[in-house]
């Protein structure tokens, strides 16, 4: 609610004001870590089959946090059948740019709990890291925004910029209602620039701005050959095996060198410019380090014949995420009746996600071995995103990160996908989107034993505090 006695004002952006905000943050660092732990304790898994109430609970806990740091108009934003977004704003800096800050409060499933060294939803501080599902991806992202905002509000009584903060609840599940959400709240979400804290740093302590994301296309395929499983001795021979048929179908999707064997799939892949290739080569990385970070076993091939990061950021890739045909637990001497797999293709500029989905579906259904029935269900297709880093907002971000981390930032791509970025930046008329890292290569996001590097968490927050001031200095948005 507006307070008539308090005049609208914006915080000064001189170095003294920045130092005060940073000092305020130093005093309260511990509190933000405790707030992060509270969020990690809520198992807000947004996947089908998990308790939806927990995602609601984390949305509510996020709203509570946004209210406590002094944001206005805090609320859960709901879409039918979707997990709620948390929203808050501070719009008392007339004439100053408006930032749309983004993170997400939902998480991936814990995976195999036996592979976790700690309990996934009980955060533990150890070896300079905070361990737990969502500790980095992306509950740390929420706390970076929260701590930066509150440090300004407590030290200056105001922010240097206007902010709208949106914390999504279905990012990990593919952001299915994002399009409708955007149409519904179009006006409310107008901003001059977007700041996302949901990406990685290239190396621990090395601040990184992500300027390219891959898209993703996911389908499920089910192969059926029998009305029920049968005895493999009594019937084996004349009766086709659905699991074998599925294996044959899947093996047709790749060439021997690992490239995707679906006709036409590479037609629209945009080649790298010379300067892009140079900047990848200049990164502090080589094949040996890449193999180590990816956890590849000795003797296993690196695919593609290009720099591994070029392969990961700017070439499509295919993965079979899961296969099921009977199960390890029920394994016995049978011919299975059906076999199922989930397949994902990561897409890059300028591939068309709908075209990729169609080609993948056709490839799976073409010439079924032994006449087995093949059903394909589409799970979703999100677009890749790509930006040039020429806008002044990027200069502001580079300066803020340089000072926040004490080292020169790098510009990188990301092999992962954030469905939010492309439609929002389009909706905001191509407003710059700053994708700033909170994860490092050892975070293990989505896998077991996820963790957050606590030193980088602090540096990311200090950079965010500086960023608000730097964006005003460069004129904010363009």
Catalytic residue annotation: 106, 171
Name the DSSP letter for residue 158: S
Q: In the chain, helix, strand, coil percent, each to 5?
A: 35, 25, 40
**Closest to Zn ion by CB, 90 or 313:** 313
Tell me the window of 27-35, 197-205, 282-290, 340-348 that interacts with Zn ion (CB under 5 A). Answer: 197-205
**For Zn ion, what does the binding mask look like between residues 86 and 125, x meaning CB under 5 A?**
----------------------------------------
At its nearest, how many Å lie between Zn ion and the CB of residue 165? Answer: 16
The kind and range of the H/E element at 218 are strand 215-224
Work out which of 24, 35, 89, 137 binds Zn ion, going by CB under 5 A.
137
The kind and range of the H/E element at 221 are strand 215-224
Kindly state whether residue 470 participates in binding Zn ion, applying the rule CB under 5 A.
Answer: no
**Closest to Zn ion by CB, 198 or 337:** 198
Per rule CB under 5 A, count of chain residues that contact Zn ion: 3
Tell me the window of 74-82, 131-139, 219-227, 449-457 that interacts with Zn ion (CB under 5 A). Answer: 131-139
Burial group, residue 119, by CB count within 10 angstroms (0-12, 13-18, 19+)? middle
At its nearest, how many Å lie between Zn ion and the CB of residue 163? Answer: 20
Kindly state whether residue 198 participates in binding Zn ion, applying the rule CB under 5 A.
Answer: yes
**Closest to Zn ion by CB, 24 or 138:** 138
Chain centroid to CA 362: 29
Kindly state whether residue 422 participates in binding Zn ion, applying the rule CB under 5 A.
Answer: no
Q: What does 360-423 look like in DSSP terms, one character per residue?
A: HHHHHHSS-GGG-EEEEEEEEEE--EE--S-SHHHHHHHHHHHHHHTS--EEEEESS--TTHHH
**Closest to Zn ion by CB, 138 or 170:** 138
Kindly state whether residue 138 participates in binding Zn ion, applying the rule CB under 5 A.
Answer: yes
Give dist(CA 163, CA 356) in Å, integer: 37
**Closest to Zn ion by CB, 192 or 198:** 198
**Closest to Zn ion by CB, 89 or 137:** 137
Taking the C-alpha atoms of 305, 310, 314 and 316 in order, what is their torsion angle to the nearest 10 degrees?
40
Instruction: Report residue 23 as tokens.
Output: 């000092």
**Closest to Zn ion by CB, 24 or 198:** 198
Tell me the window of 30-38, 132-140, 180-188, 464-472 that interacts with Zn ion (CB under 5 A). Answer: 132-140
**Closest to Zn ion by CB, 138 or 276:** 138
At its nearest, how many Å lie between Zn ion and the CB of residue 104? Answer: 6
Give dist(CA 84, CA 55) in Å, integer: 8
**Closest to Zn ion by CB, 25 or 202:** 202
φ/ψ region of 74 (left if φ > 0, alpha if ψ in -120 to 50, else beta) reads beta
Per DSSP bridges, beta strands 410-414 and 208-213 are parallel
At its nearest, how many Å lie between Zn ion and the CB of residue 138? Answer: 4
At its nearest, how many Å lie between Zn ion and the CB of residue 310? Answer: 23
Give dist(CA 107, CA 116) in Å, integer: 16
At its nearest, how many Å lie between Zn ion and the CB of residue 198? Answer: 4
Give dist(CA 353, CA 373) in Å, integer: 25
- 365: how many CB neighbours lie within 10 A of its CB? 14
Cα angle: 154, vertex 157, 163; to 5 degrees: 90
The residues facing 223 across adjacent strands are 339, 374
Tell me the window of 85-93, 133-141, 292-300, 455-463 that interacts with Zn ion (CB under 5 A). Answer: 133-141
At its nearest, how many Å lie between Zn ion and the CB of residue 421? Answer: 12
Tell me the window of 55-63, 136-144, 239-247, 249-257 that interacts with Zn ion (CB under 5 A). Answer: 136-144
> Is residue 237 helix, strand or coil?
coil
Give dist(CA 27, CA 317) in Å, integer: 45
Tell me the window of 138-146, 215-223, 249-257, 283-291 that interacts with Zn ion (CB under 5 A). Answer: 138-146
At its nearest, how many Å lie between Zn ion and the CB of residue 445? Answer: 7
Kindly state whether residue 170 participates in binding Zn ion, applying the rule CB under 5 A.
Answer: no
Q: Contact 195/142 with Cβ under 8 angstroms?
A: no
At its nearest, how many Å lie between Zn ion and the CB of residue 105? Answer: 10
- 237: how many CB neighbours lie within 10 A of its CB? 8
Give dist(CA 53, CA 425) in Å, integer: 30
By the criterion CB under 5 A, which residues form the site for Zn ion?
137-138, 198
């Amino acid at each position: 609610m507006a307070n008539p006695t308090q005049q609208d004002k914006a915080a000064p952006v001189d170095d003294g004001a920045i130092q005060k905000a940073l000092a305020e943050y130093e005093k309260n660092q511990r509190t933000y870590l405790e707030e992060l732990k509270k969020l990690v304790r809520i198992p807000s898994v947004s996947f089908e089959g998990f308790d939806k109430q927990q995602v609601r609970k984390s949305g509510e806990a996020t709203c509570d946090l946004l209210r406590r740091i002094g944001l206005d108009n805090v609320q859960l934003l709901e879409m039918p059948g979707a997990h709620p977004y948390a929203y808050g704003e501070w719009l008392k800096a007339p004439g100053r740019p408006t930032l749309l800050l983004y993170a997400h409060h939902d998480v991936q499933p814990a995976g195999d709990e036996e592979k976790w060294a700690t309990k996934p939803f009980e955060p533990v501080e150890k070896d300079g890291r905070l361990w737990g599902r969502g500790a980095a991806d992306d509950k740390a992202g929420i706390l970076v925004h929260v701590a930066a905002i509150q440090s300004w509000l407590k030290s200056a009584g105001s922010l240097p910029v206007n902010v709208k903060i949106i914390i999504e609840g279905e990012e990990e599940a593919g952001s299915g209602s994002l399009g409708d959400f955007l149409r519904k709240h179009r006006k409310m979400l107008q901003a001059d620039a977007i700041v996302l804290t949901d990406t990685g740093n290239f190396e621990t302590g090395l601040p990184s701005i992500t300027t390219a994301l891959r898209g993703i296309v996911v389908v499920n395929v089910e192969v059926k050959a029998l009305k029920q499983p049968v005895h493999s001795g009594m019937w084996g021979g004349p009766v086709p095996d659905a699991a074998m048929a599925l294996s044959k179908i899947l093996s047709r999707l790749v060439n021997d060198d690992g490239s995707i064997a679906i006709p036409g799939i590479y037609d629209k892949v945009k080649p790298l410019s010379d300067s892009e290739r140079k900047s990848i080569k200049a990164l502090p990385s080589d094949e040996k380090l890449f193999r180590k970070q990816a956890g590849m076993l000795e003797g296993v091939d690196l695919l593609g014949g290009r720099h591994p990061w070029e392969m990961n950021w700017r070439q499509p890739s295919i993965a079979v995420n899961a296969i099921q045909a009977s199960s390890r637990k029920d394994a016995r001497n049978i011919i299975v009746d059906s076999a199922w797999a989930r397949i994902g293709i990561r897409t890059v500029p300028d591939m068309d996600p709908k075209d990729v989905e169609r080609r993948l579906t056709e490839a799976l259904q073409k010439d079924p071995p032994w006449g087995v029935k093949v059903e394909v269900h589409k799970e979703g297709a999100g677009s890749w995103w790509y930006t040039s880093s020429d806008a002044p907002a990027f200069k502001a971000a580079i300066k803020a990160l340089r000072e926040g981390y004490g080292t020169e930032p790098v510009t990188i791509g990301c092999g992962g996908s954030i469905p939010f970025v492309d439609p929002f930046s389009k909706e905001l008329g191509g407003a710059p989107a700053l994708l700033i890292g909170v994860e490092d290569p050892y975070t293990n996001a989505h896998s077991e034993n996820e963790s957050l590097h606590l030193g980088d968490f602090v540096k990311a927050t200090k950079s965010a505090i500086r960023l608000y001031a730097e964006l005003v200095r460069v004129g904010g948005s363009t």
